[in-house]
Structure 1
């Protein structure tokens, strides 16, 4: 009995070994009915977590850090306006007569008088022509001053975090292509760093995602690494064309346009690099769906033929341009 138990414990499982060798990017195998992207063109994941806890949803600092600059300033202005309106109503509740210097008689005049006093108190400007009188007004203005100091400390931290967070501005070609390469064919795309900050030690990994039918008839999503001709460069001052040769070992070997469409193929690109100014690691994501792959094409050169002061110039806007050619 003990011998049988020992044999069962050391017996290898073919299914387990196969599962351990399966490539997994983090999307799982169950996304079979979704005819859509896994990674959006802006690099975000095409997935949304629902029913999260309140504290996870209320991570306001993280949300404000990731907002675009226009939206960030709109949110800051709205918060500033709402807080001032709230304190203005509180001043009116305890009586505007407790604010010396407001001479309006109508409700509107009193509200705007209290509003601008609140704005001056919140920002600690305090012009002095309006001042609190009495315990309630003085206590409320003291609380508002504290709220203003803490609020501007948080706003300062947000602005600093937004400026200090390195964001790579890598522009990808709108389409990837199947192109002739040496005496074979290859799948290619290209990219360029638009930011004035240089990137060094750039590493690129590419994976293929597609639907496949198991012997049981069940559809499952599988992932395969695509070996690049070169996946790492030390410097990235110009554009870079990434090449995956279509050899017999390639998961794309012998594919057709119909096959890519039927298998809902998407090619995922992940980039890791070091931002040279602050020596901080950065990363970027992109993907190409099957309809974004052009068959029989060749990228046009991006170098500007005219040299000025001996400097090689690269036309960034040409990154998307290609010519139709015949495959090998």
Structure 2
């Protein structure tokens, strides 16, 4: 029995072919960028369940070292204060060896006894007596074992997690390229660890007004001069040639600003030490694109050194240069 297939409408076919990176078409506020320079998505979720959207383990893995240790120390102090209050509640006198000359010294002894119990150090000067104090100490000892096991796994996860420490130039440029012009930005690997099989994808997001007068956001993939390199020991200037097939062809800087153009960048590579795939993201807004400039070399001339010297401080160094024809090939 033959199966009849309904012919798709032109609107459905057009919708299926529409390029969308996952942000949708409804974000049309010109003051809102899709991707922050640090690679984080500029999206805030509200209205959901806190525990449903917040992953504590993931947050502690990806946060900065400063924030990580601040949270660990704060948690350690608060937990010891809680147990010190519990010992105070059952009676400080149930901690044998506590200095009871003043309320302050007694509470501080309870606090430090809590820290010793939590870490299973147990110097022995203070010991719990009675059922209440002994029960609290037993619970705290068990909790301490679990907490330090978790802290150890967090430290291991942070040290063992490969991260692509790719630096991006502060600005992107529109510069002469061969006999035309090109959109360019520059990257470099900040770490001594090697990245291999590096691949890059670049797309541009722009606001477009439809025939019905409604403004929507459109996405266009940009063809690159080179989208993959096997090795990444030095810097790499990524170039999109602005040919007559480019979505940037014929656009001026004012056009880019009016259309709220944002260039979205995704890098994928294999980290050589752990042999794992890592990625890095960023974006360049139209305000961060300089028309009529080129990047200066990053190599430092060290005579007799016998090694290639790359100065990372020169990553964003540019020089103004006139364009023969703005965004256009030579006639």
If the length of structure 2 is used for normalisation, what is the TM-score? 0.95
Candidates 110, 113, 120, aligned match of 1:117? 113
Of residues 162, 165, 172 in structure 1, which corresponds to 2:161?
Answer: 165
1:97 aligns with 2:88: no
Secondary structure of the residue that 2:315 maps to in structure 1? Answer: helix
Report how far residue 58 of structure 1 moved. 4.5
Do structure 1's residue 143 and structure 2's residue 139 form an aligned pair?
A: yes
Q: Residue 227 in 1 paired to residue 227 in 2? A: no
Alignment counterpart, residue 321 of structure 1, candidates 307, 314, 317: 317
> Alignment RMSD, CA only?
1.4
Q: What is the CA–CA distance in structure 2 between the aligned matches of 1:308 and 1:67, rounded to whole Å?
A: 42
**Counterpart Cα distance in 1 of 2:303 and 2:48:** 56
Q: Distance in 2 between matches of 1:264 and 1:134?
A: 70
Q: Per-residue displacement from partner, 1:125-179 (whole Å, max 9, x unpaired)?
A: 0000111111221111111000111010111111111111111111111111111
**1:303 and 2:299 are equivalent in the alignment:** yes
User: What is the aligned partner in structure 2 of residue 49 from structure 1?
Assistant: 45
**CA contact under 8 A between 1:307 and 1:313: conserved in structure 2?**
no
Q: Which residue of 1 aligns with 2:327?
A: none
3-state DSSP of counterpart to 1:224? strand
Q: Contact between 1:207 and 1:267, CA under 8 Å: does it hold in 2?
A: yes
Which position in structure 1 is the counterpart of 2:263? 267
CA distance in 2, matches of 1:57, 1:136: 38
Instruction: Specify the alignment match of 1:32 in structure 2.
Output: 28
- 2-structure distance, mates of 1:61, 1:12: 46
Whether 1:211 and 2:207 are equivalent positions in the alignment is yes
Q: How big is the shift at 1:12?
A: 2.8
Q: Secondary structure of 1:314's partner?
A: coil
Match of 1:287 in 2: 283
**What is the aligned counterpart of 1:81 among 74, 77, 82?**
77
Change (3 A) 1:58 1:191: closer
**Per-residue deviation, residues 22-46 of structure 1 (Å, max 9, x unmatched):** 1110000001124221111111011
Structure 1 residue runs without a partner (length 5+)? none
Using the alignment, how far apart are the partners of 1:271 and 1:58 within structure 2?
26
Could you tell me how far apart the structure 1 residues matched to 2:255 and 2:230 are? 37
Distance of 2:165 and 2:49 partners within structure 1? 33
Instruction: Please state how far the C-alpha of 1:308 moved relative to its aligned partner.
Output: 4.7
2:301 counterpart SS class:
strand
Provide closer, same or farther for how the CA distance between residues 69 and 258 of structure 1 changes in structure 2, counting only shifts above 3 A. Answer: same
The alpha-carbon deviation at position 55 of structure 1 amounts to: 2.2
Q: Per-residue deviation at 1:62?
A: 1.4
Alpha-carbon offset, residue 11 of structure 1: 1.8
Provide the aligned length of Structure 1 versus Structure 2: 323
In the other structure, the counterpart of 2:178 is 182
In the TM superposition, what whole-angstrom CA distance separates every residue of 1:81-100 from its partner, at most 9, and x where no partner exists? 11111111111111111111
3-state secondary structure, aligned to 1:140: helix
Kindly tell me: are residues 58 and 44 of structure 1, through their superposed partners in 2, closer, same or farther at Cα, counting changes over 3 Å? closer
Deviates more, 1:224-233 or 1:308-317: 308-317
Match of 1:68 among 64, 74, 84: 64
Within 2, Cα distance between the matches of 1:197 and 1:58?
Answer: 32
Mapped partners of 2:50, 2:317: distance in 1: 47
Separation of aligned partners in 1, 2:303 and 2:11: 61
For 1:58 and 1:43, the matched residues in 2 are separated by 19
